[in-house]
Amino acid sequence: MPNWKKLIVSGSDASLNSLTVNTDVNASTFLGSLLRLDENGSGLRMTNVGAFDNASGNFRIFSNGDLILSTNGDTGTAVTFDQTSKDATFTGAISATEFTGDGSGLTNISSEVSEQATVVDTFTFVSSTTITHNFNTKNVIVSVYDSGDQQIIPSSITTTDVNTVDITFNVPTTGRAVVAKGGHLVSGSIELFTYRNSISGADTYTINHNLDEDYPIVQVYDSGKSQIIPGSIISTDENNIEISFSSTFNGTVVVKK
């Protein structure tokens, strides 16, 4: 039987089951239900504008200028990626089950962003208590109150790990303890709330915390992570404090606004 081949001439229409082309194909429009590109090919490119291709097994879209993702036609810009800064600008709200990071790069927040910043635990006639706060940091502030709501200094406070604080008393005590997270988000801005630093080799330290607060909360921990009371704490101005000890002290100081 003869091996028939179809011949396509200029100006005619053709119906083919498949077409393999070894050089360029030029057309004003391609119509069909599926355009499939070989994964080992060079991708699909628009001259001087952009392309998408295979980047080591990853699907890549790139642009010679800003990259714009649109919905609802060419006027429905949803996301614009700046070609220089790589910043993404979203049109509309962003929803997610979780946002990860310290928030230090956030600006122009117009509504309140809240988070759990304190954990309160009560105890009755105990010589020690353990508080699980789950803040994932040892940078916490601990305040202890007796049953008469007066603040007291326990025998020791130890930041056992990033989620747990252990408190001991000289005698069985009833009251409550408040564990505050060092730094949190507030309405309209992101503000630094906590300074933490290691100190060693001296009996007096000048701490430049830059919290813009004349009356900050100051806590000091020794090298064993137990809270201690220094000889004196002086707030010299809104950004500096001076801490003195009876002898050379090594440990960590935490200042909270």
Higher pLDDT, 74 or 48: 48
pLDDT of residue 58: 85
When mean pLDDT is compared over 73-87, 91-105, 160-174, the highest value belongs to: 160-174
Instruction: Determine the average pLDDT of the residues in 150-160.
Output: 86
177-195 pLDDT, tens digit per residue, is 988 885 544 444 445 578 8
pLDDT band at 34; cut points 50, 70, 90: confident
66-78 pLDDT, tens digit per residue, is 888 888 766 777 8
**For 58-67, 76-85, 94-103, 171-180, which range has the lowest pLDDT when averaged over its residues?**
94-103
pLDDT band at 114; cut points 50, 70, 90: low
pLDDT of residue 190: 45
Higher pLDDT, 20 or 65: 65
H, E, C per residue of the chain: CCCCCCCCCCCCCCCCCCCCCCCCCCCCCCCCCCCCCCCCCCCEEECCCEEEEEECCEEEEEECCCEEEECCCCCCEEEEECCCCCCEEECCCCCCCCCCCCCCCCCCCCCCCCCCCEEEEEEEEEEEEEEECCCCCCCEEEEEEECCCCEECCCEEEEEECCEEEEEEEEEEEEEEEEEECCCCECCECCCCEEEEEEEEEEEEEEECCCCCCCCEEEEEECCCEEECCCEEEEEECCEEEEEEEEEEEEEEEEEC
The answer, yes or no, to whether residue 4 has pLDDT greater than 80, is: no
Higher pLDDT, 139 or 83: 83
pLDDT of residue 186: 47
pLDDT of residue 109: 63
The answer, yes or no, to whether residue 122 has pLDDT greater than 70, is: yes
pLDDT of residue 188: 47
When mean pLDDT is compared over 8-17, 187-196, 241-250, the highest value belongs to: 241-250
The answer, yes or no, to whether residue 87 has pLDDT greater than 50, is: yes
pLDDT of residue 183: 53
Mean pLDDT, the chain, rounded, equals 81
With a pLDDT cut of 70, the percent of the chain lying above it is 83
pLDDT of residue 12: 66
pLDDT band at 112; cut points 50, 70, 90: low
